[in-house]
Amino acid sequence: MAETKTATLTLDGKTYELPVLSPTSGPDVLDIRKLYSQAGVFTYDPGFTSTASCDSTITYIDGDKGELQHRGYPIDQLASQSHYLEVCYLLLYGELPTKAELEKFETTITRHTMIHEQMHYFFRGFRRDSHPMATMVGVVGAMSAFYHDSTDVNDPRQREIASHRLIAKMPTIAAMAYKYSIGQPFVYPRNDLDYAANFIHMCFAVPAEEYKVDPILARAMDRIFTLHADHEQNASTSTVRLASSSGANPFACIAAGIACLWGPAHGGANQACLEMLKEIGTVDRIPEFIARAKDKNDPFRLMGFGHRVYKNMDPRATVMKESADEVLELLGVENNPLLQVAKELEKIALSDPYFIEKKLFPNVDFYSGIILEAMGFPTSMFTPIFALSRTVGWISQWKEQLGDPQMKIGRPRQLYLGEGLRDYTPIDER
Ligand code: SDX
């Protein structure tokens, strides 16, 4: 990081020089690492709206322009010209692979898609009606009980094996969570299918008959995986980084990321968005929900709208919207009432002064749910699919942090507003 200039802080008559670090792209950064030792003060930024928690070379987002790049490549080019496993390679290793490198990587991932047979029993410990995200948190965390030979975070080779295992096994675990929830037998992965087709097959095939994966649906599934792969220091990625900073094993760190992603303000928004569209039901009820979203006394928010960083259209939503049109036309449900409500809601919201002023645009979760529902997934599977897709982002950021010689345990401080020092009062005096 180039140190180009300094900022001056004056406090209680003293002056402090803070280095200003310049990025490849994006805003300059005030380096406050020595602030507490020099000035005896903390900075205060709950929600980290103005805080860079790390330096990274993986993903860049320009919220004002609505731009997203992975290792410098724009997301719309990756979504239209690349495919998920190639994007996984790019995120993990920093460069697009040669033909031979890609072939080797894809073979490695394909050969790691089965999970330890003993792990099948974990699923049986859950109620059938458990949310698949609960199952995924449990089973992924339990991987550290099975894959001891890839839990030493100080061994680069073990880190790489753990990365491959997680990318390879997440579709299998997500599909098993789904099958278990509907009382159908698990379907094993197949090495003759590509990553997305394999996932669809594991979800929708049954032993009783042949199941042919529609290549257009597989392509749409692959694009959904790509659009969710990584997104800089979002809440779940920051959770993975913080867990990893204590030296926790990769499976525990990814389980923590899954747990955080589940929230409706984050990855749970795709499920919440589709449930909201179903609740709206028809175009004529949209104004009622827009009014609720604007009402300060109503906690209701338009799911799939707004973003901490994007103050313009989420570029992923733009690509997702094209995919939604394609998939629904293929399935002959282009007149899907939910899609009609979604398109009308988007149009009305984008012309409403409240949303314009607050720069609330559709985000990645707005259209993904419509595609997934059209493909036959229940809403409870939307966030597991987001988690499956984001695993490569979590693991790439985890790997980057572990490779940083400056890494130390994450330990934020606080603004203490509690009671001052006081003596214990015996109970008969209270
Ligand atoms: C993801 O960080 C990432 O990168 C996440 C993600 C990723 O790939 O990892 O992109 C994935 O999580 C996308 C976001 C999915 N969440 C939703 O769609 C849930 C609905 N959206 C909101 O909950 C909200 O927009 C957030 C949580 C996404 C962002 O909230 P912020 O940035 O903390 O903004 P805020 O809550 O401070 O809201 C600013 C104002 C508020 O009004 P005022 O208090 O200023 O009057 O905008 C309003 C909010 O009330 N507002 C909304 C709104 N979102 C914000 N009002 C109505 N509907 C909404 N959706």
User: CA–CA separation, 179 vs 187, rounded Å?
Assistant: 8
Ligand 1 centroid – CA 302 distance (Å): 9
Q: Predicted confidence band at 425 (pLDDT cuts at 50, 70, 90)?
A: very high
Hey, what are 23's tokens?
């990025």
User: CA–CA separation, 280 vs 287, rounded Å?
Assistant: 10
pLDDT of res. 3: 60
Average pLDDT over residues 147-153: 89
Percent of the chain with pLDDT over 90: 88
Average pLDDT over residues 231-240: 98
pLDDT of res. 336: 80
Residue in 297, 301, 302, 314 to alter for ligand 1 test, most ligand atoms within 8 A of Cβ: 301
Packed helices 99-110 and 84-93: angle between N→C axes, nearest 10 degrees: 100
Does the pLDDT at position 148 exceed 90?
no
pLDDT tens digit sequence for 188-203 = 999 999 999 999 999 9
Residue in 262, 271, 308 to alter for ligand 1 test, most ligand atoms within 8 A of Cβ: 308
pLDDT of res. 328: 85
Chain-wide mean pLDDT for the chain?
95
Does the pLDDT at position 349 exceed 90?
no
Residue minimizing CA distance to atom 20 of ligand 1: 303
Identify whether the C-beta of residue 223 lies closer than 8 Å to the C-beta of residue 319.
yes
| Residue 340: closest CA among 314, 304, 370, 319 | 370
Q: Predicted confidence band at 182 (pLDDT cuts at 50, 70, 90)?
A: very high
Q: Any idea which of 33-37, 170-174, 327-331 has the lowest mean pLDDT?
A: 327-331
pLDDT of res. 2: 65
pLDDT tens digit sequence for 82-106 = 999 999 999 999 999 999 999 999 9
Amino acid at 125: G
The answer to whether the predicted template modeling score (pTM) of the entire model surpasses 0.85 is yes
Does the pLDDT at position 409 exceed 80?
yes
- Higher pLDDT: 407 or 225? It is 225
pLDDT tens digit sequence for 110-132 = 999 999 999 999 999 999 999 99
231 is an active site residue: no
Does the pLDDT at position 1 exceed 90?
no
Does the pLDDT at position 334 exceed 80?
no
Pocket of ligand 1 (CB under 6 A): 231, 234, 265-267, 269, 293, 301-309, 358, 360, 363-365
Ligand 1 centroid – CA 311 distance (Å): 10
Average pLDDT over residues 251-268: 96
| Residue 381: closest CA among 239, 178, 138, 182 | 178
The owner of tokens 């338009």 is 302
Residue minimizing CA distance to atom 40 of ligand 1: 358
pLDDT tens digit sequence for 48-80 = 999 999 999 999 999 999 999 999 999 999 999
Ligand 1 centroid – CA 71 distance (Å): 26
pLDDT of res. 372: 94
194 is an active site residue: no
pLDDT of res. 156: 92
Does the pLDDT at position 232 exceed 90?
yes
Query: CA angle, corner 257, sides to 172 and 232, nearest 5?
Result: 110
Amino acid at 137: V
Does the pLDDT at position 333 exceed 80?
no
pLDDT tens digit sequence for 25-41 = 999 999 999 999 999 99
